[in-house]
Structure 1
Amino acid sequence: MSSDRRVLVVDDSALLGAVVAGLIEGFGGFKVVGTARDGVEALRLVHALDPDIVTLDIEMPGVDGLHALGYIMSECPRPVVMVSGATRRGAVDLTIRAFELGAVEFVRKPDERSHDGWVSVAPRLRDALRAASSANMGLPLLVRPRVPGVKAPRRLHAATEVVVIAASTGGPRALAELVPGLDPALDAAVVIAQHMPAGFTAGLARRLDQLSPLPVREAQSGEPLLAGTVYVAPGGRHLVLEREEGGARLSLRDEPAEHGVRPAADPLFRSAAAVFGPRALGVVLTGMGRDGSEGLQAIVRAGGRGLVQDRATSAVYGMPAQAKATVPADAELPLGAMAAAIGRLVHEIRGTRA
């Protein structure tokens, strides 16, 4: 009996659907059991074929990918990889919403929608399917209102403590729960490295800003690091912290990818350890691989603190497990307890400094 993971491919272009199906068949470990061209057909085939994984085009006529995803996750949950050609702001925002509804990963369609164009993104598609194969499907649905968060009025000042967060597969959904739960009076900077390509991190920052009482924005090189502000590393570039007179600033770098990704969390974490030392808190959330474990070790060695997400609430327990094995973090916590723990540890760090 074959142990290949059975995949349903959904794309409104029959040609592109066939190209994607051909690539998947060539990866090894996966078998395409069907293709669909719209959301209605996709839902019918999910019930008829019972695939292990669905790749789902987000923009389709009629029942689009977002609505089809909502139905799949509520009625017959299984790992879904969104496939998006998003370049417009609205389409990018739909992709971010898909993560909140339960999508495990996404793959950006190549600019050149030919076979050769798809071959260029084949490694990303393969990695997304592998992540989906090990995804935890026992997580509850997360549905957030589309209303702006109420920002607490505050006087901006240079951060004296920093919280750095690593996230990958399942990260956007985890961040959509964690960031809105942070204390509105949190007097530390929060900097996030989420594995995501250029063009999508701005949408992630916009969505988190809608949900959070703290201001959230995509980081810009050279801007000062301010307390009570959340920064998201731009896709395609590493983000690090640098000392400056009276505080720290953000710096974007184009060094080679680490762990196959850029932005990676390890460069950010290492810089937090170097600049803030015992005034840094590292947090490793859901994701495949080991990004964040070396950086968390650097933070703890510098006298800082660490938290990792637990297995039960992680979409993929790779990065937290590696971090936990590398360094004794202060706690391994369910996602729902993470925001309060961050507030508590920042308070302890500040008290120790005082």
Structure 2
Amino acid sequence: MTELKVLIVDDSPFMRKVFSDVVDMDSAFQVLATACDGEEAVKMTIELMPDIITMDLEMPRMNGIEALQKIMETRPTPVIMLSAVTDNGTRDTIRALQFGAIDFIRKPDGAVKLDIRQVGEQLLEKLRIVAETIDKGPLRLLPAVVEKAAEKASPSLASSAPLVSPVRQSVEEAKEAERMAAATAEPPLDKQSAGKVGSAAMEQPVKEKPASALSETDKAPRLPRRETEVRRNEPPARPSASASRKLPPALDRPDSLRKPVKPPVAGSPAASAKKDAKPPVRQPGVAIAASPPAASAAVVPPISAEPKPTTSFTQIVAIGTSTGGPRALHEVLTGIPADFPAPILVVQHMPPKFTHSLAQRLDSFCSIHVREATDGEQLETATAYIAPGGKHMSLTKDAFGKYRVKLTNEGPRSGHMPSVDVLFESLIGHRQLKRYAVLMTGMGSDGAKGMKALLDDGAQTTIAEAEQTCVVYGMPRSAVELGATTHQVPLQSIAPLLVQELKSRKT
């Protein structure tokens, strides 16, 4: 096999030397060059055409996220991100995976020899996975394909925000100036000073999520201009049925795009204000101006109530994925409607902390709820539960007949924790449920045996992602070779197929 040329990108001379020595230890790879920031990395990628890139996240002039996006636009190349185990580091790593990075490794916490050795081993393992994939054919770097399609459809939009959906784009364009001004303005006036117009919209309560399920958008303060512009280039949010109309600024947020707004509750400040409101007093010789219509009646269109998640269900979906999984999960879960009549259990091979950031990010884009699973929680429909890194996730049934999540840490299974096989096997025996299993992109064979056993136990549908859309066609291939699948479809067809299958068997 020909040596694969590696470009190493890091602002630390020490880390560049460490990673160069690690790469040169394996005869299958050769360090082509090193770059100290994102700008240099983009330039070298175009001029030197490396086979693989290792990319640090935090760098001066141009960071790893920005460099990754430019590389995917100009010369798509397999990129392995180097991520710090911090809240910002994990969030940015998940963004990078959705922007086109094939995988990531965690950087050492300090100049500790043990950490350096472990990171070196992880880097070589990831490089070998990429090398094996390249050897079998060209890598499928999905974001590049999406951006090219967007550019053909509308060059002007593609250049500024190539991955923003039509609904989000229309909202952004209508409210751009207002949001930019608000990002740097003084704190907003109180409700009384703001005037009567729009007061009802400001006072309407919005459905709150548990703290564990809050998305990044829910938690974060209003972003400065630069970060807002970067986030406009993120993968598209799939609109729900209730999000097909323009919404006012008070509702311009992911939650309101997919969840109905409740009317003021009796006894609440909003309801009391409405009840106590008095008509204006006519003064002699003074005309009374027509009162502006309430924002809730004139500005906000009626939003049809969507079914709420329920703990009563007769169907369940289980999904397993690994390398390339975050992008695949984004594609599938954003295609699931808000009234989906089943819970979705997900195993994504990923270390602790990163699964939490993955769940938060997916939740901000999806019509359904997405959260990192917790031990013992009761399952609900229209909700996806992502197994925490470092723990196995299983389905269990309590004494009252309710289905719950069970998390364990008995050790890796086939080198993985969480393991897809453990999840799939936990569904065996629950024949009172209609069961659906999905295997998507990933190296190895985790989930194949569990899927076969589940099919033999009477599972309704078992789906493998087709080779043409897999970043790594390992896990789905193993399932197909075992005869464990009823369907083999491209990534874009998985969500519609699941919706169709569950709908046809709902009764």
Q: TM-score, normalised by structure 1?
A: 0.93
Aligned twin of 1:285 = 440
Aligned twin of 1:163 = 317
| CA distance in structure 1 between the partners assigned to 2:389 and 2:146 by the alignment | 26
Aligned twin of 1:317 = 473
Conserved 8 A contact 2:311-2:402: no
Residues 145-165 of structure 1 show CA distances to partners (whole Å, capped at 9, x for unaligned) of 476251345142234321110
The more displaced of 144-153 and 255-264 is 144-153
Aligned twin of 2:140 = 137
| CA distance in structure 2 between the partners assigned to 1:114 and 1:87 by the alignment | 18
Aligned twin of 1:194 = 348
Identical aligned pairs, as a percentage? 36
| CA distance in structure 2 between the partners assigned to 1:49 and 1:258 by the alignment | 41
Question: Aligned-pair distance for 1:98?
Answer: 0.8
2:455 is the counterpart of 1:300: yes
The more displaced of 253-262 and 282-291 is 253-262
Specify the SS of the correspondent of 2:469: coil
Letter in 2 for 1:345: E
Q: Which runs of 5+ in 2 are unaligned?
A: 148-162, 164-234, 238-252, 260-305
| CA distance in structure 1 between the partners assigned to 2:112 and 2:472 by the alignment | 32
Question: Aligned-pair distance for 1:122?
Answer: 3.0
Conserved 8 A contact 1:20-1:118: no
The more displaced of 267-276 and 70-79 is 267-276
Aligned twin of 2:421 = 266
Aligned twin of 2:91 = 93
Question: Aligned-pair distance for 1:239?
Answer: 0.8
What are the within-5 Å matches in structure 2 for residues 318-333 of structure 1? Answer: 318-333=474-489
Larger radius of gyration: 2
| Aligned residue-pair number | 349
Residues 194-224 of structure 1 show CA distances to partners (whole Å, capped at 9, x for unaligned) of 0000010011001110110000100000101
| CA distance in structure 2 between the partners assigned to 1:274 and 1:254 by the alignment | 22
Specify the SS of the correspondent of 2:30: strand
| CA distance in structure 1 between the partners assigned to 2:309 and 2:388 by the alignment | 26
2:444 is the counterpart of 1:336: no
Aligned twin of 1:215 = 369
| CA distance in structure 2 between the partners assigned to 1:56 and 1:145 by the alignment | 24
CA RMSD, Structure 1 to Structure 2 (Å): 1.8
| CA distance in structure 1 between the partners assigned to 2:26 and 2:408 by the alignment | 32
Conserved 8 A contact 1:248-1:275: no
| CA distance in structure 2 between the partners assigned to 1:173 and 1:285 by the alignment | 11
Q: Which runs of 5+ in 1 are unaligned?
A: none
| CA distance in structure 2 between the partners assigned to 1:155 and 1:51 by the alignment | 48
Letter in 2 for 1:215: H
Conserved 8 A contact 1:184-1:213: yes
Report the CA distance shift for 1:87/1:341 in structure 2 as closer, same or farther (over 3 A): same
2:335 is the counterpart of 1:181: yes
Question: Aligned-pair distance for 1:119?
Answer: 0.8
Letter in 2 for 1:240: S
Residues 93-146 of structure 1 show CA distances to partners (whole Å, capped at 9, x for unaligned) of 211111111110011112234443121133322221123221623532473247
2:412 is the counterpart of 1:257: yes
Question: Aligned-pair distance for 1:255?
Answer: 1.3
Specify the SS of the correspondent of 1:274: coil
Task: Pick 1 or 2: higher relative contact order, CA cutoff 8 A, min separation 6.
Answer: 1
Residues 283-331 of structure 1 show CA distances to partners (whole Å, capped at 9, x for unaligned) of 0000100011011112101100200100111111111111111124121
Report the CA distance shift for 1:259/1:130 in structure 2 as closer, same or farther (over 3 A): same
Letter in 2 for 1:272: L
